[in-house]
């Protein structure tokens, strides 16, 4: 997955587990950037009676680097607070929730937003309401839910608006096959299958493992001019979750007590970075560090394990990639895409280079206008669409296919004209597209679709 349960420690802490990060020039408000950080992965919509929520004890942040040093110049901080109206009922709601102020809604969350830009933090909004989880036709009537969620979009002034709450999962990936030893169903007839007796796999369509699941999204829309430096339109974006250093179980009260400074436990910039590139023994450490320290992980980018596995798992399919692996040439293409941004002159008319500091950040050149939906390519820059990943990331971009193809060698030809990618490299996919996601993305902020209801998606 992009970053769902991607490291051993954070997989035990879902409310602090970042799953996906999106950054794009807002298609309906082109002078602004939309940043979306998703948390709390793989939510079964029928998650009652204690429906999913953000962690009150977690510090969520979205960071922006606008000078290329891999450290934040601007950080948006989100702190949540859960309020229980009636502790003497087991119910999340005691009747239909028709509005954000419904007296029937028993357990709700509010949040504060602070921006740290320079020395002094500045509060942008306090006690902002989250929408309820989407429960079902009796609790969250379908006719009301979109309006309730829309009311949870808060205008903070200065062109900034925020939303925090449950949304439909927009990321699509065939986890069931990919983590079964690199099986890609559309190509599994070519997989080695390790010569397991009696096992014969025919090519098949992909299966979306995140289908009809929900996540919790923190979305913020900010004027481009407040994020960039003059003459430097590219920003680096990442999200972090942090916990206080000490947690003590107060057995008398039946709750945790926290103390001490916050320390980072989760991080996400480019999709799949920690999940697929960083080895198991270092994933937890990676989650605790800032992008500025990513030099120590550069070898996993320039010599990715997956690039070595593909020719082994699919014998004879990737001979050119096998030759590249054997030559042990560092993958300057992947280093540019993931760690520095792509310098000018590599892709005609495009750059999102931020400097020589190796830092995993989702880099967005904000001077590139959004591509009209009818002309957009889900393969982003690989599909000739410079408004898509790895120039930021839009909700519908097929980041799995893009990164598979890049690792398989498609982008290496950009830095070594003598290299000819394997024919299969440019076709790699797990067999999914945005059509694999049933919830329709919104055409406006916060863009992610209405969450699936527990009644409609009970299992």
Partner 1 sequence: MPNQDAAPAPDPGRRMSRRSLLQGAATAGAAGLAATAMGAAVSQAAASRRPDLARGSGPGQSAAGPIMVHVRDARSGDIELFAGTSQTRIHDQDLAARITRALNGRSN
Q: Look-up: residue for tokens 């490299």? A: 425
Cβ proximity to partner 1, 77 vs 391, nearer residue: 77
Contacts with 197 (C-beta within 8 Å, 6 or more apart), sequence order = none
Is residue 114 within 8 A of residue 121, CB to CB? The reply is: yes
Please identify which residue in 31, 89, 101, 123 interacts with partner 1, judged by CB under 8 A. Answer: 123
Asked if 61 touches partner 1 (CB under 8 A), the answer is: yes
At residue 112's C-alpha, the angle toward residues 362 and 1, to 5°, is: 35
Is residue 54 within 8 A of residue 15, CB to CB? The reply is: yes
The Cα 212–Cα 228 span in angstroms is 36
3-state secondary structure of 282: helix
Please identify which residue in 121, 146, 147, 369 interacts with partner 1, judged by CB under 8 A. Answer: 121
149: part of which helix (H) or strand (E)? helix 145-151
Please identify which residue in 14, 45, 72, 454 interacts with partner 1, judged by CB under 8 A. Answer: 72
Cβ proximity to partner 1, 54 vs 445, nearer residue: 54
Cβ proximity to partner 1, 79 vs 191, nearer residue: 79
The residue range among 35-43, 116-124, 229-237, 362-370 that interacts with partner 1, by the rule CB under 8 A, is 116-124
Asked if 114 touches partner 1 (CB under 8 A), the answer is: yes
At residue 5's C-alpha, the angle toward residues 246 and 191, to 5°, is: 155
Asked if 50 touches partner 1 (CB under 8 A), the answer is: no
Asked if 73 touches partner 1 (CB under 8 A), the answer is: yes
Please identify which residue in 46, 100, 116, 413 interacts with partner 1, judged by CB under 8 A. Answer: 116
Please identify which residue in 131, 290, 370, 390 interacts with partner 1, judged by CB under 8 A. Answer: 290
Shortest CB 121 distance to partner 1, Å: 4
The Cα 62–Cα 77 span in angstroms is 7
The residue range among 91-99, 112-120, 272-280, 348-356 that interacts with partner 1, by the rule CB under 8 A, is 112-120
Q: Side by side, which strands form the sheet with 154-157?
A: 18-25, 32-43, 214-223, 160-168, 154-157
The residue range among 55-63, 148-156, 345-353, 378-386 that interacts with partner 1, by the rule CB under 8 A, is 55-63
Strands (E), 360-449: 362-365
Asked if 151 touches partner 1 (CB under 8 A), the answer is: no
Classify residue 323 as left (phi > 0), alpha (psi -120 to 50) or beta.
alpha
Cα 24 to the chain's mean position, in Å?
12
Cβ proximity to partner 1, 75 vs 211, nearer residue: 75
Please identify which residue in 12, 30, 81, 229 interacts with partner 1, judged by CB under 8 A. Answer: 81
Phi, psi of 87 (to 5 degrees): -75, -5
**Interface of this chain with partner 1, residues 212 to 271, rule: CB under 8 A:** 240, 242, 244-246, 248, 250, 253, 255-264
The Cα 265–Cα 184 span in angstroms is 31
Binding region for partner 1 (CB under 8 A): 55-57, 59, 61, 69, 71-75, 77, 79-82, 111-112, 114, 116-119, 121, 123, 240, 242, 244-246, 248, 250, 253, 255-264, 290
């Amino acid at each position: 997955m992009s970053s769902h349960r991607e490291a051993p420690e954070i997989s035990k802490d879902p409310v602090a587990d970042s799953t996906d990060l999106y950054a794009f020039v807002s298609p309906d408000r082109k002078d602004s950037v939309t940043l979306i950080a998703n948390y709390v992965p793989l939510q079964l919509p029928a998650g009652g009676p204690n429906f999913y929520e953000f962690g009150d004890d977690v510090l969520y942040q979205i960071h922006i680097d606008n000078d290329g040093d891999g450290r934040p110049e601007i950080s948006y901080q989100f702190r949540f607070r859960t309020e229980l109206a009636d502790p003497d009922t087991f119910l999340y709601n005691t009747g239909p929730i028709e509005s954000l102020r419904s007296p029937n809604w028993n357990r709700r969350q509010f949040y504060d937003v602070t921006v740290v830009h320079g020395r002094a933090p500045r509060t942008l909004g306090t006690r902002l309401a989250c929408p309820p989880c989407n429960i079902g036709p009796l609790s969250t009537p379908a006719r009301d839910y979109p309006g309730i969620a829309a009311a949870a979009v808060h205008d903070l002034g200065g062109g900034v608006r925020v939303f925090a709450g449950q949304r439909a999962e927009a990321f699509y990936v065939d986890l069931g096959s990919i983590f079964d030893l690199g099986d890609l169903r559309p190509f599994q007839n070519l997989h080695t299958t390790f010569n397991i007796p009696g096992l014969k796999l025919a090519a098949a369509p992909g299966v979306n493992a995140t289908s009809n699941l929900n996540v919790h999204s923190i979305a913020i829309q900010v004027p481009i001019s407040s994020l960039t430096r003059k003459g430097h339109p590219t920003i680096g974006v990442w999200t972090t979750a942090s916990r206080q250093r000490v947690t003590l179980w107060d057995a008398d009260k039946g709750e945790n007590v926290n103390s001490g400074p916050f320390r980072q436990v989760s991080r996400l910039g480019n999709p799949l970075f920690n999940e697929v590139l960083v080895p198991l023994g270092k994933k937890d450490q990676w989650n605790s560090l800032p992008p500025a320290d990513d030099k120590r992980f550069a070898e996993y980018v320039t010599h990715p394990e997956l690039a070595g596995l593909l020719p082994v798992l699919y014998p004879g399919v990737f001979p050119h990639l096998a030759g590249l692996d054997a030559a042990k040439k560092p993958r300057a293409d992947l280093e540019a895409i993931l760690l520095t941004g792509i310098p000018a002159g590599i892709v005609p008319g495009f750059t999102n280079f931020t400097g020589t500091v190796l830092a995993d950040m989702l880099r967005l050149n904000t001077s590139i206008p959004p591509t009209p939906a009818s002309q957009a390519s889900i393969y982003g820059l690989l599909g000739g669409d410079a408004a898509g990943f790895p120039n930021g990331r839009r909700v519908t971009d097929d980041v799995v296919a893009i990164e598979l193809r890049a690792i398989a060698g498609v982008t290496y030809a950009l830095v070594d004209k003598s290299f000819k990618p394997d024919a299969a490299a440019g076709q790699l996919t797990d067999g999914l597209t945005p059509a694999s996601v049933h919830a329709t993305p919104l055409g406006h902020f916060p863009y992610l679709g209405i969450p699936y209801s527990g009644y409609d998606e009970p299992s």
